[in-house]
Amino acid sequence: MLAITGASGFLGRYVVVEALRRGYSVLTLVRPTTDETRLPWYGHPAAKVVPVDLREPASIAAALQGADAVIHLAAAKEGDYATQYASTVTATENLLQAMASTHISRLIAISTFSVFDYQALSIGATVTETSPIERQPAARDIYAQTKLVQESLFRQFAQTQAGEVTILRPGMVYGRNYLWNASLGARKGDRFWLRIGTDAQMPLTYVENCASAIVNAVHSPEAVGATLNIVDDDLPTQTTYANKLLTRMPSHPWVVTLRWGTMNWLAQTIWQINQGIFKGKLKVPGIFVPARLHARFKPLRY
């Protein structure tokens, strides 16, 4: 039996459906406020909905009863540092402690491409599983910071609890009604779109492909102890994807495009002025922080 955290999320729903399609019995761990009648597998005989708050350790061990393996998808992508830390780091600490107490060793741990050190990569480099991990987390956004801590917890569980851990790093997961991605730039509704970069390859993975890869890993001996990236074949450039996306938008926005070189120079200039004149006290948008700009828009291959 599989226990799947974050089961009600965008990717989580597809992972549950894929696991059920393959004949697994599934414990779907969802927030206590989730309306289970709206879940696509509601009423499926092999799926049990288990409301649990991973930030509260007391009930997690009971929620895992009967599970042979855990797919851990739950994490926070929004909110302040305290919010994301609680939902990503603290929740993971609690889950791993509960797994240890219930003697569950198999873990499929979902990480992210955000953990890479993009400033250490040269333009046109290929991102692989061995690419360097971010060495200065404070320069990155909260999501990257908390996911870096979370990934270290996964490795610690493997070492101290003899955990059979597979770390999977999906690229940009997209799907029906989930097509926008921050690597395309910034936009204000359907009226204005600032595109940053044109030729960078987008590390996309269609949500059903990603879910299939995650479930594949559960009983794959070769995956135990491995860290694996997930991307699809034939990855498009920003321009190709953006043009496709424009055809699906209800109205054509005003689009301004800045090439990578121009945007990188602008960000470096603003960053140096802020550090020199304002001693780093000026709060600037994330796209003008070089570490964050590189992570979202640098022209790379995957």
pLDDT at 107: 98
Least confident span in 46-55, 147-156, 213-222, 280-289: 280-289
Answer yes or no: is pLDDT of 28 > 80: yes
Tell me if 224 sits within 8 A of 167, measured CB to CB.
Answer: no
**66-113: pLDDT as tens digits:** 999 999 999 999 999 999 999 999 999 999 999 999 999 999 999 999
Kindly state the average pLDDT of the residues 222-239.
96
Q: What is the pLDDT of residues 11-23, one digit of tens each?
A: 999 999 999 999 9
C-beta contacts of 100-106 below 8 A and 24+ residues apart: 100/157, 100/161, 101/61, 102/61, 102/64, 102/65, 102/67, 104/3, 104/64, 104/67, 104/68, 104/69, 104/70, 105/161, 105/162, 105/163, 105/164, 106/68, 106/69, 106/70, 106/163, 106/164, 106/218, 106/224
Structure confidence by residue, pLDDT tens digits, 139-154: 999 999 999 999 999 9
- Does 1 have pLDDT greater than 90? yes
More confident residue, 181 or 95: 95
